[in-house]
Structure 1
Amino acid sequence: MCGASSTAPGGAGEDKEMGKIKMRQRKYGWTMLLLCGVCVSASAQKAIEFTCGKQAKGAISLSAEKRYTAPAESDATGRPAFGFDLVASPDQFAGGACASDHAFFFSVAVPDGNYQVTVVLGSGARSTTTVRAESRRLFVDKRSLAAGASATEVFNVNVRTADIAGGSGVGAKVRLKPREIGALDWDEKLTLEFNGEHPSVRSIAVRPIGDVPTVYMAGDSTMVDQDKEPWAAWGQMLPVFFGPRVVIANEAESGETIRSFTGERRFDKIMSTIKKGDYLIIQFAHNDQKNGSPETTDFQGSLAKYVDAVTAKGAHPILVTAMNRRTFDAEGHITDSLGGYPQATRAFAEERKLPLIDLNAMSKTLYEAMGQDGTIKAFVHYPANTFPGQTTELKDDTHFNSYGAYELARAVVQSMRDQKMPLAAYLKAGIPAFDPAHPDSVATFDLPRSPLFELEKPYGK
């Protein structure tokens, strides 16, 4: 996943970049790194494999005592830092499986790039395992297995740090918000969460890849990978619908406008690695609307800059109209709380002949089908003491819980299929059709909660 080099081959700039590669090899213990400026094919690289049973040839055996510790710059062990992370290790190591009656996390140090992850699930007992990666990106939704059974799941994970490869200025970085510092989406490792009823895994393999399209995402808190419960957004649900021939790189962040996304160098980060054949999904409005109308903020002018830069790279922009807030009138209809932004997005897409996912229209249908009371179950509305340390009511009509985020992601996926977008070719087979006028019942929705909680409201509203 490399962009154009900013240094001449064989020159001092390339020597400098090779020095960076060698330094990161020492840090991460990886034999091949993807560092833009010096591009090495990742498709033939071997995976590093971890097993929960007897050590297989070339694999690393896991134990409860092996906890993740951040690698030092001078680390020369020949393999990356790895181990169980964040919460207690699994407490059952038998029959060639790591298993537990609680959620557990596993991390391995890797540099920026895309990675194919292969997990073999199952144990000697009956298990149902949900797998998330990084900041709660959903990849495997409740895989149930009988005692002694196994199942292999393969998915692709994007890993990033704040560093901008080839960026202008010394130490070019994304300007992270305080809430992002130390977040799993921006740290030096790839983290997996195993959750559910007796979550179980037999082996984990991680391999760098560079031969699949990347779907980048630019947006705000309604799209971001919300890293803590009970908050969720549709972008972090999207990976579960796609197979291993594509990777989702959700770089949305809470509180962003289309201008601040550029000012904080988030767009620069995307442009430093986006390549021909990749995609960029763009959704803004919620925070832009607080700063004025689309005309006063030159919203369409900013869209044009994004689209022009992406298409110049040979990549494909996809526009998304922002979903509605939970604002009902007396007759039970959703009211417009986003000013002219959704229509400005539609008009720009029509003028430039760009693919458009009209999530604003679909969310109106979805919310009205749920009703004013039903939508409470899709947003962050919880009485006091629902979560640890929560002494007051949570009441938010902009941000979703996992159920609401999942339903919106289903609407996005259905729109891709209905319009026969090229990106739809990468969807998993057998995904049921979705009609926003007939949403899934919340009573049938059962995504296990992550053990990580945050009661503070995300930036933006």
Structure 2
Amino acid sequence: MKFKLLAIALLISSFCAAQKEQFKFDFTSNKAQKGYTKIDSSNRYTAEKGYGYDLQSSSAGENKPFYFSVQVPDGNYKVTIRIGSKNKAGITTVRGESRRLFIENLATKKGEIVEVTFIINKRNSKISENENVKIKQREKKKLNWDDKLTIEFNGDAPLVESMTIQKVNNIPTVFLFGDSTVVDQDNEPWASWGQMITRFFDMNVCFANYAESGESANTFIAAGRLKKALSQMKAGDYIFVEFGHNDQKQKGPDKGPYTSYFNSLRTFITEAKARGAHPVLVTPTQRRSFNEQGKIMDTHGEYPNAMKKLAREENVPLIDLNAMTRTLYETWGVELSTKAFVHYPANTYPGQTQALADNTHFNPYGAYEISKCIIEGMKANKLDIVKYLKKDYKPFNPQKPDAIDSFHWNQSPFTEVEKPDGN
């Protein structure tokens, strides 16, 4: 009987934690502020408790990366963090879920506390009581698909005083649909523009990245990814759709740029418009495919043109990332462009016995630059959400990319040498 009562109590505790929509945590060594939950090194995450340090043994105050998770329902959350310390200087970077970048290299002096706020989307794979997204085996460990909202604190000397998390319902959401060039990559050294673009927008908009490696437009729909997003979508939201890399590999009588691809893209547009959301099409990013003259060779056939045709027919905005990345890669040139992709000699990362030379997938620097191309595409299309760009965003020109030496990235603790699905 005692065990049954304990099990019921744990279940109720877990349910309450999952339903709670506001949390306040105090990470200092002082007495907790009124209304805040005191957090020390012993506060490890458990499903029963619903919050705590997660994934690693490190905790706040140890001057190394740490993770903190909170069990919350699906939705958008306003996260407010007081960064800094009364006792020392620091440099703090904050990422969320599967390495979405929000706060970049924020320097604080001794005694300085800076309050920052951002909006983050959390979801799991449940569509309804009887239906789930058909996620892949390798996705089952992704932080994007679990029941927790996970915040990663990183940087040269990360410092956090307190954090509050509160559910918000009136924030426009930008849903990202795409493949491995868009997806939130969990592990170093892989990255995509969808997890970098979050850094440049303020607390008035939220990005929900539903992209996944290896997906084409039709398989994305078949897996229930679109259906899950539609269950969360509201009027005034946006969808950004970038496919083409994997679609072009499909063979068969009904497969091709003006058949299955075209029709699947139209499905995204139709479903978004039916809910009062704004569809935006994004042509597939170029591959790093130089010819002998140092020019990028087109490898996507008619797929970019098919998307452009549909954009004209449906009168929806189109961001020509295909064209912008051609300019960007040619500006870098054959050698320097490798610094934007996953090109690393053997033994750079644990378990990496062979050199990595991937000409499709970006590293963090490359993904950071591509995300700026997307933003310039938003501006060119006069999308309303550009009014939510942070004040420190500077106009970007693919003919004048940021110097790689100016990009400082503190790597997350987890690495993977296996290439993402898709090419």
Q: TM-score, normalised by structure 1?
A: 0.86
- 1:382 is displaced (CA, Å) by 0.2
Q: Which of 102, 110, 115 lines up with 1:147 in the alignment?
A: 110
The answer to whether the 8 Å contact 2:98/2:185 transfers is: yes
Q: Which residue of the partner structure matches residue 327 of structure 2?
A: 365
- 1:29 is displaced (CA, Å) by 2.4
The amino acid of 1:323's aligned partner reads: T
The runs of 5 or more residues in structure 2 that have no matched partner are: 1-9
Q: Which of 238, 255, 259 lines up with 2:197 in the alignment?
A: 238
Q: Deviations over 1:195-238 (max 9, x none)?
A: 11111100010001101111111100000000100000000001
The runs of 5 or more residues in structure 1 that have no matched partner are: 1-22, 34-44, 72-79, 91-97
The amino acid of 2:58's aligned partner reads: S
Q: Deviations over 1:237-277 (max 9, x none)?
A: 01111111111000000000100001110011011111111
Q: Which residue of the partner structure matches residue 359 of structure 2?
A: 397
Q: Which residue of the partner structure matches residue 14 of structure 1?
A: none
Correspondence 1:272 to 2:234: no
Q: Deviations over 1:406-426 (max 9, x none)?
A: 000011112212332112122
Correspondence 1:176 to 2:135: yes
- Identity value in percent: 44
- Alignment partner of 1:108: what SS? strand
- Alignment partner of 2:143: what SS? coil
Q: Which residue of the partner structure matches residue 40 of structure 1?
A: none
User: What stretches of structure 1 move > 4 A for 4+ residues in a row?
Assistant: 23-26, 30-33
Aligned residues: 408
- Alignment partner of 2:153: what SS? strand
The amino acid of 1:235's aligned partner reads: G
- Alignment partner of 2:336: what SS? helix
Correspondence 1:59 to 2:22: no
Distance 1:302 1:319, change over 3 A: same
Correspondence 1:84 to 2:53: yes
Task: Provide the C-alpha distance between the structure 2 equivalents of 1:390 and 1:289, rounded to a whole number of angstroms.
Answer: 30
Correspondence 1:27 to 2:14: yes
The amino acid of 1:185's aligned partner reads: N
The amino acid of 1:57's aligned partner reads: K
- 1:429 is displaced (CA, Å) by 2.1
- Alignment partner of 1:272: what SS? helix
The answer to whether the 8 Å contact 1:130/1:194 transfers is: yes
The answer to whether the 8 Å contact 1:51/1:204 transfers is: yes
Q: TM-score, normalised by structure 2?
A: 0.93
Once superposed, what is the RMSD of the aligned Cα atoms?
Answer: 1.6
Task: Provide the C-alpha distance between the structure 2 equivalents of 1:28 and 1:378, rounded to a whole number of angstroms.
Answer: 44
- 1:182 is displaced (CA, Å) by 2.6
The answer to whether the 8 Å contact 1:380/1:394 transfers is: yes
Please identify, of 344-353 and 59-68, the stretch whose mean Cα deviation from structure 2 is larger.
344-353
Equivalent positions of 1:97-176 (< 5 A) are 98-123=60-85, 124-165=87-128, 171-176=130-135
The amino acid of 2:90's aligned partner reads: S
- Alignment partner of 2:52: what SS? strand
- Alignment partner of 1:139: what SS? strand
Please identify, of 224-233 and 116-125, the stretch whose mean Cα deviation from structure 2 is larger.
116-125
- 1:373 is displaced (CA, Å) by 0.4
Q: Which residue of the partner structure matches residue 8 of structure 1?
A: none
* Greater helix fraction, Structure 1 or Structure 2: 2
The answer to whether the 8 Å contact 1:288/1:297 transfers is: no
Distance 1:31 1:300, change over 3 A: closer
Distance 1:89 1:299, change over 3 A: same
Q: Which residue of the partner structure matches residue 292 of structure 2?
A: 330
